[in-house]
Amino acid sequence: MVSPETIMRTLALLSLFAAPVWAVTDDPWTTKPQKLSEHMATSTRPAIPVTIPPKHDNPWDPKPSTVREMAADRPDQTGTPFTVPKGFFHFESGIVDHERRLDTDNKLETFTWGEINAKYGLTDKLDLQVIWQPMTEVRYRGDESDPGFYQSGVNDLLVRMKYNLMGNDSGDFALAMLPYVKVPTAKRGIGNDMWEGGLVLVSEADIGGGFTLGNSLGGHISADSDDTLYFRPAISAVLGREITEKLGVFVEIYSSWHMDEERYWQTSLDFGLDYDLTEHMILDAGVLWFFRGEETLNPFAGISWRF
């Protein structure tokens, strides 16, 4: 006969083995315990949200609009004080630039094909820029006693950096400084085989009514025809107007001091427009008319994009 003490010891031992089942069962008297994963799913800890990045089907618009509005240095000569956002590549290309001398009976033309300004955003306020002209043609045709000449080849290389001093992401006024150096990579007749450089201050103000006013003030170290370096100041003002959300126009006056066989101000009156294909691609076209100094006409067309 089994004693009461033996029965109590047996029940106590069985209760120890049954404890893990009770721990994962809402009802300790159920005959089918829950799975451990189902029990853990009832945890009161909040779920971690998962953000799925938006899908971009447009191959010309590869990045979401989480950065400042795109601003290009072309097509005017003043440029922009806004830098390329950090980590972005930005390219500005002249499809074709044509310059023709007007104040002479002889025909002097310069064609620049595929000029590229390659930029990269180093920080939120600083970008690096390399300007290269892979093909420049100079065509000169004189009278019967002057057969003229034709030269073509790579032009000089320009390396510069832009640092935004204020207004890059907010406010109605922006200011930047732009130091640069010109590396003489072109042969004689296209370039002057001289190192040159300078510093330019660029500003832009929103003056209301869809108008913006930009200015530049530069000091350049340039070489004359005798390979003598001299200081060449330059100044400009550009008035821009938004016609629509995508289309803008501008008128500009630009002037710089030149010293060659004589000293003179080379001054131009410029007109142009730009059209935003996407948030990251802009088309432009216009004309630069140098009416004082050496009179030339310079029509152009180009494109800018970033990614």
pLDDT at 243 over 70: yes
Residue 70, classified by CB atoms within 10 Å of its CB into exposed (0-12), middle (13-18) or buried (19+), is buried
pLDDT at 239 over 60: yes
Euclidean distance between CA atoms 240 and 76, whole angstroms:
10
* Coil, helix or strand at residue 23: helix
pLDDT at 249 over 90: yes
This prediction's pTM: 0.75
Tokens of 265: 């101000």
Domain 89-301 in CATH 2.60.40.350? The answer is no
Torsion (CA) 193, 74, 220, 85 in degrees, nearest 10: -100
Residues 6+ apart with CB under 8 A from 76: 214, 236, 238, 250, 252, 270, 272, 286
CA distances (Å), origin 75, targets 11, 182, 210, 270, 303: 92, 20, 18, 10, 9
Which one is predicted more confidently, 223 or 187? 223
pLDDT at 164 over 70: yes
6: phi then psi, degrees, rounded to nearest 5: -65, -40
Tokens of 116: 């590229």
Q: Provide long-range contacts, Cβ within 8 A and 24+ apart, for 29-38.
A: none
Averaged pLDDT score across all residues of the chain: 83
* Coil, helix or strand at residue 176: strand
pLDDT at 24 over 80: no
pLDDT at 14 over 60: no
pLDDT at 54 over 70: no
Q: What is the pLDDT of residues 120-138, one digit of tens each?
A: 999 999 999 999 999 999 9
Residues 6+ apart with CB under 8 A from 165: 81, 175, 176, 177
pLDDT at residue number 104: 81
Residues 6+ apart with CB under 8 A from 246: 275, 276
From 226, 189, 185, select the one nearest 110 (Cα to Cα): 189
pLDDT at residue number 85: 95
Let me know how long the chain is.
Answer: 307
| DSSP state string for 216-228 | EEEEEEEE-TTS-
pLDDT at 185 over 60: yes
Tokens of 30: 């159920």
